[in-house]
Structure 1
């Protein structure tokens, strides 16, 4: 190809596509925003509690396992079983029904750290009368400083 033809080809290529630095990054920005929207809609980190609970701090550490039954006790005395609010009598009946269906499973109790110990023991008594053999009290690990 002659030198004149090469310059004509370069000029025609240059006219068809202007050299703009922003044009090269726009597809990347579009992909990032689409991924952000996808993960915002599809992602779910954990089920939220029906009410605010700040568990007490514990120096001992234990393994947290995923079980069927999670009883939550709020600072104002509200109770929930697996995220569903209910009263004490309904809690005992629901736990008894679930234990009879699936066998004896340990129940996790997540109580607010400011709830009096007598109230926590009363809920444990309700669970015992419902047939619960093992209760795990959920706490936060103690800080190092």
Structure 2
């Protein structure tokens, strides 16, 4: 009687090693690659200063949540703000101007005023912000 031996089976090739290599390559390229568009020139963002006192004196322009304006605590019409600031800057060109905008004020209500104030020739224009986690701030 003749007994046949079973043919030798080759172990199945595993794909686990290939998956490991692919994940290592994926992680490698994620670490060295840039995911954002870069500018064609160097851009150094400004540094925020927290807790520093603003210079004494100057003018305070307040912008309410609905876009209403005030100059040094007195309500003012939008058309009268720039002439009033121009007159004050003519008397003192180094006069600091603080823009204090309500946190609910829209950006399109604040930025044009900042641009127009700078266009008047103001040397020191500061946008006053307050962190939301201070006691007493809702």
TM-score scaled by structure 1?
A: 0.53
C-alpha RMSD of the superposition: 2.4
Are the equivalent residues in 2 in contact too, given 1:59–1:141 (CA < 8 A)? no
Deviations, residues 91-143 of structure 1 (Å, cap 9, x unaligned): 10000100111222220111000111121101112212222122111122453
8 Å Cα contact 2:63/2:99 also seen in 1: yes
Larger radius of gyration: 2
Q: If each structure's helix is expressed as a fraction of its own residues, which one has the higher value?
A: 1
Q: Indicate the structure whose relative CO is greater, using CA pairs within 8 Å and at least 6 residues apart.
A: 1
2:122 to 120, 125, 132: 132
- Are 2:130 and 1:143 equivalent residues in the alignment? no
- Structure 1's consecutive aligned runs of 4 or more residues displaced over 6 angstroms after TM superposition are none
Runs (5+) with no aligned partner, structure 1 = 1-57
Q: Which runs of 5+ in 2 are unaligned?
A: 1-47
For the Cα contact (< 8 Å) 1:92–1:129, is it kept in 2?
A: no
Question: What TM-score do you get using the length of structure 2 for normalisation?
Answer: 0.55
SS of corresponding position for 2:122: coil
Residue in structure 1 matched with residue 109 of structure 2 by the alignment = 119
